[in-house]
Structure 1
Amino acid sequence: MRFDLVDLQLFIAVADSRSITGGADRAHLALASASERIKGLEAAFGVTLLKRGRRGVELTAAGESLLDHARLVMHNVEAMRGDLARFASGVRASVHLLANTVGLAEHLPKALAAFLRDNSDINVDVEERESIDIAAAIASGAAELGFAAEHALPDNVERFVFGEDRLVLVTARRGAFATRRQIDFQEVAGHDFVGLTQATALQLHIAKYAARLGLRLHVRARLRDFDAICQMVASGVGIAVVPEAAARRCRRAMPIATVRIRDQWANRKLVICARSFRTLPRPAKLLVDHLRQAAVSLRPGNGR
């Protein structure tokens, strides 16, 4: 069985573009050369990898399996190059971490700050995504490490619980729901809201479940952070849905009240996830170990 990394890169490019011509362009190969390489892969494995048609190509079941393995191989090769380049040039290593809105705003900053202080040769690039997108990126091998709501993850993604993320309703201390302890989200229909900007993952999550209930939220203001949202709520502009940790913090300085949302979608476990923690490059493993220790320290009875 003879094939090389160029063959795997080409196959990934063909699969992503659903076209041998498009894959050849992405891989910077002549069409004839790309076509021969694909045929060589099929001959090497003894299976048909692509279904060829007028509108391009589709992966066979064997092709889907090869794509999965090819992405993992190329990911490990890039990780190897990155680790060794760090030793050769002295350039800092970098870890790419996908995180949902709540993780980015409330849970990660303190833990990441401690990690960066202790690891001066490692940078961390955090990108905000919705949990379902993080799950897809991790499962496909397009990303190595994520911070997401557990309910969005498929079974084949490894994870450990970092903390809990309960979403609560926030209202002015003398607002319509201020005396309530719990509420069904359906009951907020018709009330003015203060929300996050539409591009944030959490706002997409809230809007999706509101739509499932047949609710159209009347959002009077959209802001970038939870403190600003709670200030608007305290001034009587509207109600809001924010993480309990943020609401509790803001409640100490603002005249707001919090109400527990009974709906299941409002209760989420936040997890650190990866396709395989064992196969992560060394910088990412160091970050995972640090976050695992941080998660333990945040649990009740461990100093918080």
Structure 2
Amino acid sequence: MAERFDLTDLRLFLHVADASNITRGALRANMTLASASERIRDMEVDLGTPLLVRKRRGVELTAAGTALLHHARLVIQQLEHMRGELNDYAKGLRAQVHVRSNTMGISVFLPARLARFLSAHPNIDVDLEEGRSRDIVRAVAAGKVEIGIVAEGLEAAAELETMPVGEYRFVLVVPLRHQLARCRKIPFKEVLDYDLVGLRAETAWQDFLNEQAKRAGKRLKLRVRLDGFDSICRVVENRIGLAIVPEPVARRWTSKLRIIPLDEVWALRHLTLCVRKLASLSPHAQNLVKYLTKSPPARKPVP
């Protein structure tokens, strides 16, 4: 029987496969669950073989599903190449670049550069997701994501093309009248004597801090866990605890919080951009890589 797949079918199947769940895949494809399920059943009927194994908590790919996933990715990637090459002739045809970043990339690095890129390229959309660095490297290697922003020094990234994109420093923020406010710098071990505010337990950064505390022979005394660094700074301002945050975030709170450098080598962090193969990316994705890897404009000093 002849296969009658269209691009909507292929995009839906990619979303379902990446999410390992038809419901979440349908949501990412902006479809109802009933419509998504019907499309996948029609694909299976056309092929004459199951593509998914339905389970109570999601789906798994069959051998045929794995093969279709590979070809679907190639088709979508080729479409992105076509869109880039025809951009001058088809202004109404929008393109999309898939980016996955760790927490620090999203909090510190990407917002300003993505804003400049999107402003200069109104026909390009960026699908940005947050994840752990190791998971991002695997996703890029598998072709699920075109561009990844990850922490430095991941051995798994050695098989990918990588390039440095920026650095940032972690600092301690305390209320203006806190007893530590006069400190010029502070060892992490001394910070562990105080109540802290941090990110949720599943974040890679919080795992890293837990490991540093363990090496110092102590434990983090977390009173509150939140989703973002600005929320953390707001809570610190209300004297609920102290926090370690990226310096660029802390600078937004200089009128309300005291910034104290951490006297630790690991406080200086680097971000790395990784791709499977730069030459094989769509023209739009290659252009975004150029934006993300070029030096940002000089930052004015904080008065």
Q: Which TM bucket (shorter chain)?
A: 0.5 to 0.7
TM-score by length of 2: 0.67
Q: Are the structure 2 counterparts of residues 150 and 73 from structure 1 closer, same or farther at C-alpha, using a change threshold of 3 Å? A: farther
* Alpha-carbon separation, structure 2, partners of 1:156 and 1:298: 31
In the TM superposition, what is the alpha-carbon distance from 1:256 to its structure 2 partner?
A: 1.9
Contact 2:171 2:259 in 1 (8 A): no
Q: Are the structure 2 counterparts of residues 189 and 290 from structure 1 closer, same or farther at C-alpha, using a change threshold of 3 Å? A: closer
* Alpha-carbon separation, structure 2, partners of 1:215 and 1:73: 51
> What's the counterpart of residue 260 of structure 2?
258
Q: Are the structure 2 counterparts of residues 125 and 177 from structure 1 closer, same or farther at C-alpha, using a change threshold of 3 Å? A: same
Contact 1:163 1:299 in 2 (8 A): no
TM-score by length of 1: 0.67
* Alpha-carbon separation, structure 1, partners of 2:226 and 2:248: 18
SS where residue 136 of structure 1 aligns? Answer: helix
SS where residue 191 of structure 1 aligns? Answer: coil
SS where residue 113 of structure 1 aligns? Answer: helix
> What's the counterpart of residue 12 of structure 1?
none
Which of 170, 173, 183 pairs up with 1:170? 173
Tell me whether 1:278 sits opposite 2:279 in the alignment.
yes
Contact 1:99 1:134 in 2 (8 A): yes
* Alpha-carbon separation, structure 1, partners of 2:122 and 2:94: 8
Residue 242 of structure 2 aligns with an amino acid whose one-letter code is I
Which of 108, 111, 114 pairs up with 2:110? 108
Tell me whether 1:183 sits opposite 2:186 in the alignment.
yes
Q: What 5-or-longer segments of structure 1 have no aligned partner?
A: 1-16, 18-24, 33-66
Calculate percent identity across the aligned residue pairs. 36
Summarize deviations over 1:218-241 as a string: whole Å, max 9, x none: 222223332332232233211111
In the TM superposition, what is the alpha-carbon distance from 1:85 to its structure 2 partner?
A: 6.4
Contact 1:96 1:125 in 2 (8 A): yes
SS where residue 273 of structure 2 aligns? Answer: strand
> What's the counterpart of residue 8 of structure 2?
none
* Alpha-carbon separation, structure 2, partners of 1:275 and 1:189: 40
Determine which structure has more spread, i.e. the larger CA radius of gyration. Answer: 1
Q: Are the structure 2 counterparts of residues 276 and 83 from structure 1 closer, same or farther at C-alpha, using a change threshold of 3 Å? A: closer
Q: Are the structure 2 counterparts of residues 138 and 171 from structure 1 closer, same or farther at C-alpha, using a change threshold of 3 Å? A: same
Summarize deviations over 1:4-61 as a string: whole Å, max 9, x none: xxxxxxxxxxxxx9xxxxxxx9x946679xxxxxxxxxxxxxxxxxxxxxxxxxxxxx
Q: Are the structure 2 counterparts of residues 216 and 275 from structure 1 closer, same or farther at C-alpha, using a change threshold of 3 Å? A: same
Tell me whether 1:81 sits opposite 2:82 in the alignment.
no
* Alpha-carbon separation, structure 2, partners of 1:165 and 1:143: 24
Q: Are the structure 2 counterparts of residues 138 and 211 from structure 1 closer, same or farther at C-alpha, using a change threshold of 3 Å? A: farther
* Alpha-carbon separation, structure 2, partners of 1:148 and 1:108: 12
